[in-house]
Amino acid sequence: MNQPISAISPRKSVPRNTPMALTEALVARTMRAVEDAGLTPGMVHMTDADYARIRDEVLAGAPAGPLKL
């Protein structure tokens, strides 16, 4: 099974007489409202001090030179 899927079951595209168009009706079909559930009960959010502490720990353990992200 080292062949790409297209080699196993080739599909030929049907030529179109007109170009495809992204219409407002098609875009409207993709929209889905998702209600914000709010904060997770019991979740403790990180503070700026927490982020600074973790940043300092990462930098302290990094090798000398520029930090590659």
Give a three-class secondary structure readout of 23-45.
Answer: CHHHHHHHCCCCCCCCCCCCCCC
**3 contacts: CB under 8 Å, gap ≥ 6:** none
Q: What is the pLDDT of residues 10-31, one digit of tens each?
A: 667 777 788 888 999 999 899 8
Portion of the chain with pLDDT greater than 90, in percent: 38
Tokens of 39: 């904060």
Residues 41-68, mean pLDDT to the nearest whole number: 92
Q: pLDDT category, 6, cuts 50, 70, 90?
A: low
| 3-class state of residue 8 by DSSP | helix
